[in-house]
Amino acid sequence: MKGALRWLVLALAQWWAVAAAWADELPIFDTHVHYSYPAWREYPPTQVIELLRRNGVPRALVSSSPDDGTVMLYEQDPERVLPVLRPYHGQVSPGNWFDAAAVPGYLEGRLRRPIYHGIGEFHLYDPENADAEVVRRTIEMANRRGLFLHVHSDAEAVRRIFALAPKSRILWAHAGLSEPPAVIDEMLARYPNLSTEISIREQEIAPGGVLDPTWRALFLRYADRLMIGSDTYVNWRWRNYTSIMAFNRAWLKQLPEEVAAAIAHGNARRLFGRTSR
């Protein structure tokens, strides 16, 4: 009996070690990276790529204000960096891009370089702006080229985009940021071309590091549609990049292994393979 018990303890210890190693090594496809102007000096491209590598991030969707930041990172590591084109540059910002007549021409021009996988992340703080002429043209442009849209908005703006162009592929930033899991569930059930990433919501998903049961149910139900993002929109997110990723791995570890792998990297690999070529 004693022998059997010792064996069981040893087997459990080994299992824990394997499980812990699995979580540490779990690659993460980061679907929400920005490398905007204020980061360039403090974090040169070589350093950012090294930070991604060290954190087990083999792929990242990157968009920046202005887009030159994305191009710099892409040129540093074209394998790891998947460019996404943002409309913001010069005076064009989250608060006015939908009204800026120059935006469609700007996007068309940049898209001539066939490196982009999507258009975004762009903001639609007021869902009514989803119907603006510039936004319509942006959506058409993406759909014509098979690019996805990375949209920071509430559920209503996403509904409007799908009403306008049902074949759009949308990556919903921050899972709607303030939309509750019930609304995220309803949206994913209704729109098969909608996927979403949970950046900025880590603490809400796992308060004190423990996966919340409502979120857990959502991850299990839509294991093929949810993804991880860091959202390095300001330098302190870069400064905390390692702890953000460690925190994400810690709650991912509380999900079944295949679900965690899908959310950490499998879904993004499947969904974002294409470029504007």
Residue written as token pair 């010069």: 90
Helix (H) / strand (E) containing 28: none
By C-beta, is 173 or 187 nearer to Zn ion?
173
Residue 32 C-beta: closest distance to Zn ion, Å: 7
Residue 123 CB, nearest approach to Zn ion (Å): 7
From the list 34, 86, 110, 152, which residue makes contact with Zn ion (rule: CB under 5 A)?
152
User: Minimal distance in Å, beta carbon 94 to Zn ion?
Assistant: 9
CA distances from 175 to 32, 168, 234 (A): 12, 17, 19
Region 194-223 residues binding Zn ion, contact defined as CB under 5 A: none
Using rule CB under 5 A, residue 150 touches Zn ion:
no
CA distance 165 to 203: 34
> Which of 60-68, 151-159, 201-209, 211-219 is the region at the interface with Zn ion (rule: CB under 5 A)?
151-159
Rounded to the nearest whole angstrom, what is the least distance from the CB of residue 49 to Zn ion in the complex? 22
Q: Is 173 in the site for Zn ion (CB under 5 A)?
A: yes
Residues 202 and 121: their CA atoms lie apart, in Å, by: 19
Question: Residue 128 is encoded by which pair of tokens?
Answer: 């009514």
Other C-beta atoms lying within 10 Å of the C-beta of residue 67? 24
CA dist 270 and 197 (Å) reads 14
Tell whether residue 59 is a contact of Zn ion (CB under 5 A): no
Candidate ranges 38-46, 63-71, 149-157, 242-250; the one touching Zn ion (CB under 5 A): 149-157
Min CB(69)–Zn ion separation in Å = 16
Q: Report phi then psi at 189, rounded to 5.
A: -65, -40
Q: Which residues bind Zn ion (CB under 5 A)?
A: 152, 173
